[in-house]
A = this chain, B = another copy of it.
Amino acid sequence: MKLTTKGRYAVMALADLANFNKANPVPLRDISFRQGISLFYLEQIFLKLKKHNIVRSIRGSGGGYILFKNADELKLSEIFFAVDEKVKTINCNKDSKKGCNGKLSKCITHNLWDELDLHINSFFENKKLSELTKTQNKKL
């Protein structure tokens, strides 16, 4: 059970963005440099973030990205959803009546994983991007 780099980097990059977003758009090159993430990889990630209205882009010289919402309104769950980082603890098709491994009914552990799923997702649901930048600012 681990996080993919896509989810991790998305949050990392957005936290960076939130910190430098005061007025001007932030180019990916800066984020890449500051966070040590490949520029090409960031491009891929930000394309998704843009499609899901997490960020807004400004093209051309002097361009870059800015947050679409305020950092204190942006939930981690939204970010994860945008980059396809999803929690998947159950094995079966949740909507179907059938269980995993082709069984006719749900398996013994189905409810457990369902509960776990809920437990984990509630973390992402309750966490805002701004909670990251605040601890960052405290240090300054």
Number of copies of this chain that the complex holds? 2
Known contacts: A36-B102, A102-B36, A111-B135. The answer to whether A1 contacts B7 by CB under 8 A is: yes
A37 within 8 A of B: yes
**Whole-angstrom CA separation of A102 from B37 in the bound complex:** 11
Given that A35-B107, A108-B16 are contacting pairs, would A2 and B3 also be in contact in the complex, using a CB cutoff of 8 Å? no
- Count class of interface residues, chain A: 35 or more
Among candidates B11, B86, B115, B119, residue contacting A112 with C-beta atoms closer than 8 Å: B11
B3 to A3, Cβ gap below 8 A? no
Does A8 interact with chain B (Cβ within 8 Å)?
A: yes
A136 CB → nearest B CB, Å: 6
Q: Mark A116-131, 1 if CB is under 8 A from B, else 0.
A: 1001100100010001
Which of A22-30, A53-61, A63-71, A87-95 is near enough to bind chain B?
A: A87-95
The 3 closest A-B pairs by CB, nearest first: A36-B101, A2-B88, A15-B108
